[in-house]
């Protein structure tokens, strides 16, 4: 039964005795020019949190630009209809987040069959969200709301594209774990991917709810 | 056969695409060195054109057949040189050298570790930076030459495409793509440095036991994470304005080159807000690592702990925090509300407090030195302090809306930021190069040549940029390609000629450094394990760190605070 043992956040890595080395300015770790030490689960998680901060700043910049642009020139701001499918998409994303959180619990409990079912379901819902977004873009284009049509539609496209770009990256992680669950023994590296995929997926979920609130109630 | 001979030498490809942090540090160092040589050459060409605008130079035409027809540089060529100079110096020199090059070189060992948290990501961020640099250079090859909108790329000029001037078509688009790529590289690098500081410290080493260099790289990386995404977002929007016809930044009813712009309703002011939300922290991304380097080296060559270690930690944190809140002082004359201007002005002025704390710490450390050693590295640190004070004081003028109304877009601003962001930051890079050269190449740089280089560069920095302030006082505007067309500027031309001649002399002086560098790489004196008797772990890998500060000198008996 696979178990996950991780050092707590902030715990330092174990002491590794330094190999004898000269101050020749050469490669530091070995003479292959490569460093092979794999990052710990905690380190990977910290990196994902930092990445989430960077993504938050990107979305904050875009959302601020939207607020300022509308405030500076409200005359050319034409409200965009919220496509009905967008609500279903939102539901799918929230549900996928819940299911993936349950999958994470199953993983930690070592319940492999349950993990598989939950993970495949969460991944399928995430994929549905992405496909649904594409359908929404086509729906709006059919209604005559193009990128350059008015600033409200321009910001809608930009924000949803930026979110979808993040989702594509996250889904790649979900599919990688899916492939590992189906085809390979569960290696330590894959546990890292699983953990951070779930964390990042929750982040995208929260970010989407923020964007949805803007589209539905403000924009 | 001995075991050691069985270890195969890595292939050239593996050495180039190495994940070793010191190799990557050297790669960043040489990329910055190449960039600074290009940037300085561009600035010399600009200075030449400013005082001899109608001088025919045969090889100008050989390089720029369209923009320097007949060997005379056109004003558009001047503007494209200016854009490239600013972009290269800000992004590829001042961001890369103090942070990426030297953090990669010593951060893991300073923390008692062996490697950065993510070695492969480290390699990736370097090569993405190279891709960004090549994209930037390509912006000047295609189309009708390089973009002309300056490193701040203000719309509408930068957002309406080729109609606004030569180089504003594909050249400007590639410029934005290059900056976007650079943002991604910087984010990956910052992510790596932050993770390394948080997670890869030796057991027992608390944050308050980290050397001040590590602290400043850490704070700088946090600034990078908070500011580069904003530039990335703004770059995405402006690219859509250029390529997809949106109107985020371009107002309506524009008539450009007798053509009516199809855009409507956008705001150039919005770009300025987004750009400077990145742009001002970028100033601190350039200078904060220098502050850490100076604190560290002054302590080493004073043989005592910094006057107040805690103050040296928290002052840069305060500067970084306040630096995130002052972007509006770049927009005093852009039409922002006077109340906003006053708020931005007050916060800007308040940055003087932690800056003064740092200066007093540096001077206090040296004043109370157990044994003061004026090595080249130490001299460059003292030069940094001088330039930092001078540049900081001129910043107080520009931080006040009433005075900025006169100085804005004059040579005074150019002199100010060259003094504090350019020269001061480069002095820190010189200091770091002399100090850590033994770790980089296993040899020592020549101290006599180093001191000669320092004295000439220090005198040159003041000889070049102090008169530039006077040119600003006299009302000489920045970004003008030719002063000779205006009677008003004729009285200032001798001053301009002085600045140009000094700039060429300064350029020539840098050849001493380049010569010293390459000579020492191949035939410099062999360095010992700890040539400066440094107290930190990059020199003493096996030293105990429990219950001791990072700057405890066994022979000094000084407290580590």
Which ipTM did the prediction report?
0.92
Residue A5, pLDDT score: 36
Could you read off the pLDDT of B94-117 as tens digits, one per residue?
A: 999 999 999 999 999 999 999 999
Contacts of A34 in chain B (CB under 8 A): 10, 14, 18-20, 119
> Which of A170-184, B35-49, B403-417, B490-504 bottoms out in mean pLDDT, i.e. has the lowest?
A170-184
Asked if B236 and A27 come within 8 Å (Cβ–Cβ), the reply is no
Q: How confident is the model at residue A8 (pLDDT cuts 50, 70, 90)?
A: very low
Chain B nearest-CA residue for A68: B270
Share of chain B above pLDDT 70, in %: 96
Chain A nearest-CA residue for B276: A61
Helices A151-183 & A41-72 angle (0-180, nearest 10): 160
| Neighbouring residues of B341: CB distance < 8 A, sequence distance ≥ 6 | B328, B329, B332, B401
Could you read off the pLDDT of A87-139 as tens digits, one per residue?
A: 999 999 999 999 999 999 998 888 888 999 999 999 999 999 999 999 999 99
pTM of structure: 0.92
Asked if B269 and A26 come within 8 Å (Cβ–Cβ), the reply is no
What is the average pLDDT score of chain A? 83
SS3 content of chain B, % helix, strand, coil (to 5): 70, 0, 30
Over 80: is that where the pLDDT of B333 sits?
Answer: yes
Domain B17-523 belongs to what topology?
Answer: Cytochrome C Oxidase; Chain A (1.20.210)
Residue A188, pLDDT score: 61
Classify each residue of B143-167 as buried b or exposed e, where b means 16 or more C-beta atoms within 10 Å of its C-beta.
Answer: bbbbbbbbbbbbbbbbbbbbebbbb
CB B195 within 8 A of CB B121: no
What is the average pLDDT score of chain B? 93
Residue B120, pLDDT score: 95
Distance between CA atoms of B328 and B346, rounded to whole angstroms? 11
Residue A31, pLDDT score: 42
CB A65 within 8 A of CB B246: no
> Which of A1-5, B414-418, B452-456 bottoms out in mean pLDDT, i.e. has the lowest?
A1-5
Query: What does the domain layout of chain B look like in residue ranges?
Result: 17-523
Asked if B248 and A51 come within 8 Å (Cβ–Cβ), the reply is no
Q: Distance from B29 to chain A by nearest Cα, in Å?
A: 13
**Radius of gyration from C-alpha coordinates of chain B:** 24
Of the candidates B10, B119, B236, the beta carbon closest to that of A31 is on: B10
Asked if B439 and A22 come within 8 Å (Cβ–Cβ), the reply is no
Of the candidates A29, A50, A58, the beta carbon closest to that of B233 is on: A58
Say which residue the tokens 């852009």 belong to. Answer: B334
Over 50: is that where the pLDDT of A17 sits?
Answer: no
Q: Between A and B, how many residue pairs show a Cβ–Cβ distance under 8 A?
A: 183
Residue A187, pLDDT score: 60
Distance between CA atoms of B53 and B233, rounded to whole angstroms? 39
Query: Taking Cα atoms as reference points, which of B429, B448, B452, B426 lies closest to residue B440?
Result: B429
Of the candidates B18, B229, B265, the beta carbon closest to that of A27 is on: B18
User: Would you mind telling me the total number of residues written for chain B in this entry?
Assistant: 561
> Which of A172-176, B215-219, B255-259 bottoms out in mean pLDDT, i.e. has the lowest?
B255-259
Distance between CA atoms of B512 and B506, rounded to whole angstroms? 10
Over 90: is that where the pLDDT of B5 sits?
Answer: no
CB B298 within 8 A of CB B432: no
Six-digit token string for A59? 């979305």
SS3 of residue A213 by DSSP: helix
CB B530 within 8 A of CB B520: no
| Arithmetic mean of pLDDT, B70-83 | 94
Which residue pairs, CB below 8 angstroms and at least 24 apart, start in B238-242?
Answer: B238/B153, B238/B155, B238/B158, B238/B159, B238/B176, B238/B271, B239/B173, B239/B176, B239/B177, B239/B180, B240/A147, B240/A154, B240/A158, B241/B155, B241/B159, B241/B160, B241/B266, B242/B158, B242/B159, B242/B160, B242/B161, B242/B172, B242/B173, B242/B176
């Amino acid at each position: 039964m696979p178990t996950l043992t991780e050092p707590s956040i902030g715990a330092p890595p174990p002491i590794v005795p330094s190999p004898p080395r000269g101050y020749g300015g050469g490669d530091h770790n070995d003479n292959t020019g490569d460093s092979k030490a794999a990052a710990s689960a905690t380190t990977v998680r910290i990196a994902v949190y930092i990445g989430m901060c960077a993504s938050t700043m990107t979305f904050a910049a875009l959302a601020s630009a939207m607020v300022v642009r509308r405030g500076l020139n409200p005359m050319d701001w034409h409200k965009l209809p919220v496509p009905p499918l967008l609500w279903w998409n939102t539901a799918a994303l929230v549900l996928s987040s819940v299911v993936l959180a349950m999958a994470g619990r199953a993983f930690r409990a070592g319940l492999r069959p349950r993990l598989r079912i939950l993970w495949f379901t969460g991944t399928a819902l995430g994929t549905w969200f992405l496909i649904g977004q594409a359908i929404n873009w086509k729906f709006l284009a059919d209604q005559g709301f193009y990128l350059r049509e008015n600033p409200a539609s321009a910001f809608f496209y930009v924000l949803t594209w930026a979110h979808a770009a993040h989702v594509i990256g996250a889904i790649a992680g979900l599919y990688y774990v899916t492939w590992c669950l189906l085809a390979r023994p569960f290696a330590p590296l894959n546990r890292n991917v699983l953990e951070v995929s779930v964390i990042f997926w929750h982040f995208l979920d929260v970010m989407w709810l923020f964007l949805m609130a803007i589209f539905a109630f403000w924009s | 056969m001995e075991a050691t001979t069985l270890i195969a030498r890595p292939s050239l490809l593996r050495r180039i695409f190495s994940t070793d942090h010191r190799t990557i540090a050297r790669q960043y160092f040489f990329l910055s060195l190449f960039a600074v040589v290009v940037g300085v050459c561009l600035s010399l060409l600009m200075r030449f054109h400013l005082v001899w605008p109608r001088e025919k130079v045969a090889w100008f035409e050989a390089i720029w057949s369209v923009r320097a027809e007949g060997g005379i540089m056109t004003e558009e060529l001047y503007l494209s040189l200016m854009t490239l100079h600013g972009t290269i110096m800000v992004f590829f020199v001042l961001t890369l050298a103090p942070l990426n090059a030297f953090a990669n070189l010593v951060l893991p060992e300073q923390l008692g570790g062996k490697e950065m948290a993510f070695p492969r990501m480290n390699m990736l961020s370097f090569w993405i930076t190279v891709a960004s640099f090549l994209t930037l250079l390509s912006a000047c090859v295609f189309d009708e030459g390089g973009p002309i909108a300056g490193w701040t790329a203000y719309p509408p000029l930068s957002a309406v495409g080729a109609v606004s001037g030569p180089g504003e078509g594909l050249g400007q688009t590639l410029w934005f793509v290059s900056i976007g790529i650079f943002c991604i590289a910087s984010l990956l690098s910052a992510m790596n440095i932050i993770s390394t500081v948080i997670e890869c410290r030796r057991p027992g080493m608390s944050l308050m036991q980290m050397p001040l260099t590590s602290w400043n790289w850490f704070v700088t990386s946090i600034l990078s994470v908070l500011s580069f995404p904003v530039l990335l977002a703004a770059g995405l929007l402006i690219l859509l304005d250029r390529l997809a016809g949106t109107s985020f930044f371009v107002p309506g009813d524009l008539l450009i080159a007798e053509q009516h712009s199809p855009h409507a309703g956008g705001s150039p002011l919005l770009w300025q807000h987004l750009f400077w939300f990145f742009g001002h922290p970028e100033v601190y991304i350039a200078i904060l690592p220098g502050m850490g380097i100076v604190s560290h080296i002054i302590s080493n060559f004073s043989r005592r702990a910094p006057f107040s270690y805690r103050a040296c930690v928290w002052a840069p944190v305060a500067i970084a925090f306040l630096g995130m809140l002052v972007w509006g002082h770049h927009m005093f004359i852009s039409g922002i509300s006077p109340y906003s201007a006053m708020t931005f002005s007050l916060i800007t002025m308040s940055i003087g407090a932690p800056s003064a704390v740092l200066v007093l710490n540096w001077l206090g450390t040296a004043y109370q030195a157990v044994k003061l050693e004026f090595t080249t590295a130490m001299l460059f640190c003292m030069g940094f302090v001088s330039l930092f004070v001078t540049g900081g004081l001129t910043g107080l003028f520009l931080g006040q809306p009433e005075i900025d109304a006169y100085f804005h877009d004059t040579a005074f601003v150019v002199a100010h930021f060259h003094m504090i962001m350019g020269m001061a930051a480069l002095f820190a890079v010189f200091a770091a190069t002399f100090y850590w050269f033994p770790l980089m190449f296993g040899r020592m740089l020549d101290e006599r040549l180093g001191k000669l280089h320092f004295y000439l560069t220090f005198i040159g920095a003041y000889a070049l940029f102090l008169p530039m302030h006077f040119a600003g006082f006299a009302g000489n505007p920045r970004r003008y390609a030719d002063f000779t067309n205006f009677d008003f500027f004729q009285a200032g031309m001798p001053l301009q000629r002085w600045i140009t001649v000094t700039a060429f002399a300064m350029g020539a002086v840098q050849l001493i450094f380049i010569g010293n560098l390459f000579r020492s790489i191949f035939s410099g004196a062999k360095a010992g394990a700890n040539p400066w008797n440094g107290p930190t772990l990059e020199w003493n890998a096996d030293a105990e760190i429990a219950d001791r500060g990072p700057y405890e000198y066994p022979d000094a008996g000084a407290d580590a605070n």
